[in-house]
Amino acid sequence: MEGKMQVMIGSPDLAVWERFTDILGSRGLALTRFQSINQACKALTREDILLIFCENRLIDGTYEDLLAAARNVRSQARIVVTGVDSDQFDSLGYCKARELGAFDVLRKSYGIRDLEWVVICAIRDEEGVRTTAA
């Protein structure tokens, strides 16, 4: 898996994992599933993660808890909140997630192009960080 970009998918629902692997599995990404914030933090402390897709709720907390935990371990991973119901996806909910540090927020009805676009934006952001650091 060396050379592949690391992408984590957080969901207690196996169907969500399967959806992500169906869509992103053939894109040259190393996909890892997690179900809890605890699992994610263990991975974040030992791996260079490009992107995390995280459902609104995990087994042991919410995306808000994951954003706080990622800050605590000084992770540079871009966290995208997924599976937000349409009634929760209002400007206030979106702005709140962004203010807390989310890279993006996707409605429950996200599709292939939505996921691909977020990956492209994360890669561009990572390239910008590397260029600035050099």
Residue 1 has what pLDDT? Answer: 41
pLDDT tens for 33-68 read 999 999 998 888 877 899 999 988 899 999 999 999
Residue 90 has what pLDDT? Answer: 64
Residue 74 has what pLDDT? Answer: 86
Collect the ranges in the chain with pLDDT lower than 70. Answer: 1-2, 84-92, 134
Q: Concatenate the DSSP letters of all residues of the chain into one string.
A: -TTSEEEEEE-S-HHHHHHHHHHHTTTTEEEEEESSHHHHHHHHHHS--SEEEEESEETTEEHHHHHHHHHHTT---EEEEEEE-TTT-SHHHHHHHHHTT-SEEEETT--HHHHHHHHHHHHHHHHHHHHHH-
Predicted TM-score (pTM) of this structure: 0.88
The per-residue pLDDT of the chain, averaged, comes to 86
